[in-house]
């Protein structure tokens, strides 16, 4: 009997160590209608997901997040106000996530017309397309890619090249930052050094995220696609595993309302 209980305890511990905490929830609007396409993020890069057509989301936190840890959940969509909520990391469902719609009356309604003697003043709005790297709330457009590396202890190193594409297919990447954590809390992840020589590789693209700065020989090594809507990650994996996080900042075309004014002379009957 003792051997059986020990086996169950071993299986349970192995399961906990192998998987991160799962978060499940549902996002609705003020009328309790499910919201699809809402981006869910946890403290920037600890986990992310997008709600489905029923407003549901499911994400798995990085293994570095422990049960009971304080974390911040963010719900983002350009049509709704930014929603933030401090929660405790656990496998319990997250309820009562209600987003408030952003009112754009100043963009969709005409202003009152101020008449001048003998003239008509017509104010109207037309659509205009511009490049933008920020949403209406001022937050930069970005997408995070989490790359867990393999342990290569006592086996040969492994050359790796993996392509990643923005979910916003029309986006144009302007900057890529890299952060990294390992079991020994080494932010540079020295066991995952670059595949290309920065002095002989002008296409190398990427920089360290703030707080994760290293030395030149550890510079991130990414190559942008010709359309700049994705990149290829290059590395040589050796030694122990770690978790690399790449954040791609991008710009995209958005449509805005532009105010126009037309003044015409009135026809006055004698």
How would DSSP label each residue in the chain? Answer: -HHHHHHHHHHHHHHHHHS--EEEEEEE-TTS-B--S-EEEETTTTEEEE--TTSEEEEE--TTPPTT-EEEEEEEETTEEEEEEEEE-SSSPEEEEE--BPP-HHHHSPPPP--BTTEEEEEEEEEEEEEESB-TTSPBPEEEEEEEPPPBTTS--EEEEEEEE-SSTT-EEEEEEEEEEETT--TT-TTEE-SS-GGG-TT-B-EEPTT----GGG---EEE-TTSSEEEEEEEE-BS-EEEEEEEEEEEEEEEEEEEEEEEEPP---
Q: Are residues 123 and 61 in the same domain?
A: no
Final residue belonging to a domain, choices 56, 72, 98: 98
What is the spatial distance between Cα 233 and Cα 223, in angstroms, rounded to a whole number?
7
The residue with greater pLDDT, 177 or 107, is 177
Can you tell me the mean pLDDT for 24-34?
A: 92
Residue 198 in 3-state DSSP? helix
Residues 76 and 110 in one domain: no
Nearest to 246 by CA among 258, 232, 227: 232
Q: Do 161 and 240 lie in a common domain?
A: yes
- Which of 12-26, 56-70, 141-155 is the least confident region? 12-26
Report yes or no: 61 and 42 within 8 Å, Cβ to Cβ. yes
Q: What is the mean pLDDT of residues 47-56?
A: 91
pLDDT value of position 228: 94
- State residue 244's pLDDT score: 86
Asked if residue 92 and residue 119 are part of one domain, the reply reads: no
- Statement to judge: residues 88 and 165 lie in one domain: no
* CA 30 to centroid of chain Cα atoms: 25
**Whole-number pLDDT of residue 186:** 57
Write the pLDDT tens digit of every residue in 174-224.
999 988 776 655 555 554 455 556 566 777 788 888 877 766 666 778 899
- Considering the domain architecture, whether residues 264 and 194 belong to the same structural domain is answered as yes
Looking at the structure, tell me whether residues 188 and 172 fall in a common domain. yes
Q: Identify whether residues 251 and 126 lie together within a single domain.
A: yes
Q: Is the pLDDT reported for residue 6 higher than 50?
A: no
246 closest CA partner among 164, 163, 144, 153: 144
Q: What's the whole-model pTM score?
A: 0.47
Residues 73-85: pLDDT tens digits?
Answer: 999 888 899 999 9
Q: Give the pLDDT band (50/70/90) at residue 7.
A: very low
- For residues 73 and 155, state if they share a domain: no
Placement of tokens 């996002």 in the chain: 27
pLDDT averaged over the chain?
79
How many structural domains comprise the chain? 2
Provide the pLDDT for residue 99. Answer: 92
Q: What is the domain extent for residue 85?
A: 2-98
pLDDT band at residue 146, thresholds of 50, 70 and 90? Answer: very high
Do 65 and 151 sit in the same domain of this protein? no
Q: What is the distance between the alpha carbons of residues 92 and 23, in angstroms, rounded to a whole number?
A: 7
The enclosing domain of 26 has a CATH number of 2.60.40.4130
Which tokens in the block code for residue 112?
């009152």
123 and 237 together in one domain: yes
Residue 268 has pLDDT above 80, yes or no: no
Beta bridge partners of 233: 162, 222
> Are 124 and 248 found together in one domain?
yes
pLDDT at position 180, please? Answer: 79
């Amino acid at each position: 009997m003792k051997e059986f209980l020990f086996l169950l305890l071993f299986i349970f511990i192995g399961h906990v160590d192998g998987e991160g905490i799962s978060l499940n929830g549902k996002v609705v609007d003020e009328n309790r209608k499910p919201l699809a396409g809402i981006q869910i993020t946890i403290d920037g890069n600890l986990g992310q997901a997008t709600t489905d057509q029923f407003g549901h989301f499911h994400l798995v936190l990085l293994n570095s997040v422990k049960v009971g840890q304080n974390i911040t959940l963010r719900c983002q969509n350009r049509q709704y106000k930014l929603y933030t909520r401090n929660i405790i990391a656990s496998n319990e469902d997250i309820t009562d996530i209600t987003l408030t719609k952003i009112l754009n009356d100043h963009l969709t309604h005409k202003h009152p017309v101020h008449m001048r003697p003998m003239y008509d003043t017509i104010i109207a709005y037309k659509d205009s397309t511009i490049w933008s790297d920020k949403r209406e709330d001022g937050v930069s457009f970005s997408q995070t890619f989490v790359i867990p590396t393999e342990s290569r202890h006592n086996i040969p190193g492994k050359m790796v090249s993996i392509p990643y594409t923005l979910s916003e297919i029309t986006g144009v990447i302007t900057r890529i930052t890299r952060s990294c954590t390992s079991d020994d809390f080494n932010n540079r992840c020295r066991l995952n050094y670059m595949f290309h020589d920065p002095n002989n590789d002008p296409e190398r693209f990427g920089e360290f995220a703030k707080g994760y700065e290293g030395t030149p020989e550890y510079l991130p090594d990414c190559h942008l696609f010709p359309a700049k809507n994705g990149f290829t990650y290059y590395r040589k994996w050796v030694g122990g595993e770690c978790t690399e996080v790449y954040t791609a900042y991008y710009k995209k075309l958005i449509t805005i309302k532009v105010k126009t004014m037309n003044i015409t002379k009135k026809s006055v009957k004698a």
